[in-house]
Structure 1
Amino acid sequence: MSTTTAGRARSRAAVAAYVPVLVAVVCLVVSVWLDLTNTDAERTAADIGFAFPVALPGLVLAASATWVLLERPGDAVGRVLGAVAVVWSVDGALSGWLAHGYAHGSAGTDPAFWFVARFGAVLLSGLVAVLLLYPTGRLLAGRWRAMSVGVLLASFALPVMLVLAPDDVVFTTPVPGVSTELVGLPVPDPVAEAVLRVGQVLTLGSIVVAVALLRVRYRRGSGRERTQLRWLLWAGIMCVLLVLAGATLSVSGGLTTVLLDVAVITLAASVAVGLLRPGLGDVDALVAWTLTTAVVAAIVVGIDLAVLAAGTALLGDRLDQRDVTLVVLVLAVVVYGPLRGWLGGLVHRLLLGRRNDRYGAVSALAARLETIGTVDEQLPALASAVADTFKVRHVRVEVLTPDGGLLSASHGTPPAEVQEIDIAYQDERVGRLVLPVQGYRSMLSRRDQGLLVDLVRQAAVAIRARLLATELQASRERLVLGREDDRRRIRRDLHDGLGPVLGGVALRLQAAGNAIDTDPARARELVALARTEVSDALDDVRRLVHDLRPPALDDLGLEAAVRQQADRVRSEVDVHVEAEGATGLPAAVEVAAYRIVSEALANVVRHAGASHVDVRLEGDAGGLTVTVADDGRGIGPDVTAGVGLLSLRERAEELGGRCEVVCPDSGGTTVRAVLPYGAAAGDAVPPTDPPTTASSLRRTETVRSTR
């Protein structure tokens, strides 16, 4: 299609989009003119009310249809809305003409009456079409398509029968002088009446089935479609509440028309907003608020009536009407006013939990967590708090442990479909919440989401602190055990190795001294043996000293010692070393950096299969950053962290630092350790991993290796 042709098509579509509004405006103006022209007597004689309230919803429907068709040209829902708007508007204008024509015998009264009394039922078919097509503009696919077509056809049963049935069947009391029997069925009246009843059942049943098919569309729809359908849900709830309000209060006449207008206007606006701007407002909060307000209002009205009836029954005989009214008002203000507020809060809590009490929910959870010692007890408390606060039937909490494991706790029975919400602490994902998807209680408004974030943040701080405290205790235990193991090893080496050697040297020297005069040759032999044993003892001492602190650090400095380590593995892999600001460091930082580089290089040689390694030391006023990056095969997602990787982390955490091992998307493995000292070491916080990409996060969480 050429650009010119496409432009013309868009122009025609834009012009067609304005047709419903133009028709609705003309009909509304005609309705107003007829209302001003007709007298009350004429309206009473024709049993017709004011035409303006009937035509007004047609204008709102038309405006919604025009908005939809302008933004979505050719949309099926927009076209159906436009057709419904035109029929509704014409129906309103013709209802005003009926009063005028019936009183003055004007031409066109019979067709107008036929349109209002018979053809107007096609609006029910339009409602069914909107329900079946919303929000995609297409019927449900698959096996539901045939059912949808059948429902749509069934919705026209009543309009068709109303068009064909004789006046005696349609009207219990025919209007004198008016005939609407333009086309009649050639069947007896009892048969026509039976067919008309069948048409009523089919059309009204089609509305029920269309609503049921919306449930199917909701379950199969995407996130955006579900939001759009919730706008329609809210409109449906409003329509039902308005109908119930009219039936309960036994309203009639003008008030019934007003309630109907509000229902139709709500439906038209919701359909348009749902189609074009589903994110315009918080529809979930609107649905929850509407349901809660309706329940509270119903209870409040019931108790109001009961209080009024009781007051009248108790005091009506003794007091005049003025006194009774005064007493009832005083009771309502002094007693029932606070009671009603308390009752409204109670019903809201029963229906939706403590969502409105943000401070109370957070403080209650904090108080519960303070009295609970272990994470295994804190997780069920968090799950229970979320379930109680939001009145949902299922909550599952999952928390990642520092070693990559997973702790979880559940509350309630898991539903078939759930939604997942991440739990973060200091920009680090530490777990997730799992909540139901179905049910209006599971609809989380932005305010609800804010409360959920507060609850989760409160729990995340407590759980993370408990995990870190547990990890710290375990780390301290490992340090103590390691220190005692080192002491035991040094004691054993000194006692079993150096001690006997030095004792033997002393004995040999003593023997050499005794033999120096009588057997000089023997004395020289003993001295030579003592010299050899002393050399071996010196080697043992050097080994012990090296285990305590590598001598290369004192002899060469950190940078040169690291380069020496790199030279030792150059036959296996190419190593490039860079250092900046790596001088004048505390002894503990030098040892930790040296050990981390040595262990990382050993891991590369053993496991990585790399051809090149970059080692970088960067020091500043706050600490030293050690980075060892290789271009090897990386760490598989199914590999468990071994002793080597754990030792890297422990060496960094001993100084209040942190060490991370990640596998970038570009390949290889990167070991990065931050070793604070000075003021930075004193202000160091518990180690946390910085944000990473989703892929690297998954890979670091499930590190499995024998390193």
Structure 2
Amino acid sequence: MPRTVAVRPDLGRLASEVPGVALGGAAALLGVAGTAMFVAARPVLGEDALFLVVDATVALVYGLTSALVLSRRRHVVGYLLAVAALGGGLSAAAGGWRVLATARGLSPEPFASAFSWAWVPGTLGLFLVVPWLVRQRPADAPWWGPTVGATIAVTTAVLSVGLHYTAFSVSLGAAVVWGLVTAAGVERRRRRAPAPDAVGLGWLALGTLVLAVSFVPLLLPLGWVPLWLTPALHLVSQALFPAAVLAVVLRQRLWGIEVAVSRTVLAGALTVGLSATYLLATVLLSGVVPGEGWAQTLAAAAVVVAVQPSRLWLEPRVHRLVYGAAGDPSRVAARMGGELGRADGRLLDSLVESVRTALRLESVAARGEDGTVLATAGTATAEPTALPLAAAGGPVGTLLVTARPGEVLDGRTRRALDELSAVVAAGLLLRRTADELARTRERLTRARLQERQVIRRELHDGLGPSLAGLRLGLSGVANLVGADPEAARTMLAALQEELDRRVEDVRVVARTLLPPVLEELGLEPALRELVTRHAESGFTVRLHADVPGALPAPVAAAAYGIAAEAVLNAARHSGAGGCDVEVGVDGAGLRVVCRDGGGGRSPGAPAGVGTHAMRERAEELGGSLRIDGPPGGGTVVEALLPLAPALEESR
């Protein structure tokens, strides 16, 4: 039985990523240092202060994001984020130093000049290069996407250092255009990707779009739009872009910071939406509503009204971005439930693959009650966690899951597994029921074949030779009619008696298969008719029956067929003058016993068609058949037929 284990992070692998983590940490420290110098100078707040806040935020947010990514897996996006964070941190430190040096009467150059260019390559790379590479396999990205983006970012950085403002503006305009192309490319990938691979891509496209659009005010003539709009949009994008990168690269495995990321993304998205609502309402109402300040007041009222509906609409989407399917297992369960209608050989494989893909697990396997693994998805590299599967009021198997290397099964994933395991259990029960149905059909087919063999034997060995003898007898009568009429009449009388016996044999075969009295009056009257019929042929059947009146038809038919075949075998092969038949309820089943005092079965004698037919009748209902030769001779045939399954089947 597998133990529940918590797989610890691979410390050796984490140690190999120390340089990447150190880059992110250094960037964050630079951002903090720049902010501290700015605060120490106690300057008058202006537009430069907003840009410094943006640079410090880039250093902190992307420094931490890159450190988190690189501590989890080696991915090129992690290093690009570290470069962006270093650029932002260097720019923030330079800006803070410039303000502090100026306030203290010191010379800020040459370090202060970095405030105008250090942020350019990394920040532009965020929306020109990174979105193309944010995928599980960066090598799958089209080469031209990140290549064009990197070329524009480097060119713009070089122009910013050289203070070529006209060329810089043109290059920055190209960056905005390519940023829009990049956002459209990410959205196109989201629409075409399978559902599990599309998680986070919509937010990544939105973050890319916001970042690209945030540079538009820098390209417009002064005074067209407030200059603070650019840093404001930059700050808003920090709530969308990093979370989308984490969701796609780390696949909803955020090491316990899900709540913080979720709330940050929700706050950022609400800020974007409500700010856009305010600006749009202000522009539209200013041309309609007279009076100074009324347009802004109504726009503010519109924002207040929109807060709660916007939050209700955004919250489940942000939840799905951060937590993936583990945050909304009912959606996955509904999708998996639709697969239950297939009921084919691939059903269980499809269900366990859906669980593995939706919850980002390393492996998932479904094991039956007998310990046989019936379906598996992925390959386990650690001891699995076992979750019991129950359906229809009882256990049906076990679900075995393993987290990806370096990850653990957190509480949210376990709760999602508890919900999804019910669907897997239903699939396992359906699979077991389908297998039982297939076995039942096979038994029914064999039973029909054996009954046909019985009829063929009776016709071939009994009725066939008798009819041939009657034909010869009639030929003899035809020869005697003219020469010896009296002998012909005597022979005709003998032939008539033989024909009557053969007609009775046909009736015996028909009654043995399913006598009319069994359908009309029930099992006990049918058994008494069986006793009477054998008594007419000189074989005594002593019946002891205590049968309930409301006996299900399948049980009654099986019990009669077994009793009739056992009595017929005793009459034909035992050599005894009679047998005892006992039929009655025993616990939850109906017991049928036939005992004779004959010579018994020969050791090693093969089972005949009749024996196979009795066994098949019992097993069709989930019962059993036993044939023994007790000491002192004779044969005992004992069948136990369960009543409960038959009752359900009869319903």
Same fold (TM over 0.5): no
TM-score tier, shorter chain, comes to 0.3 to 0.5
**Greater relative contact order: 1 or 2 (C-alpha under 8 angstroms, separation 6 or more)?**
2
Q: TM-score, normalised by structure 2?
A: 0.45
Q: TM-score, normalised by structure 1?
A: 0.42
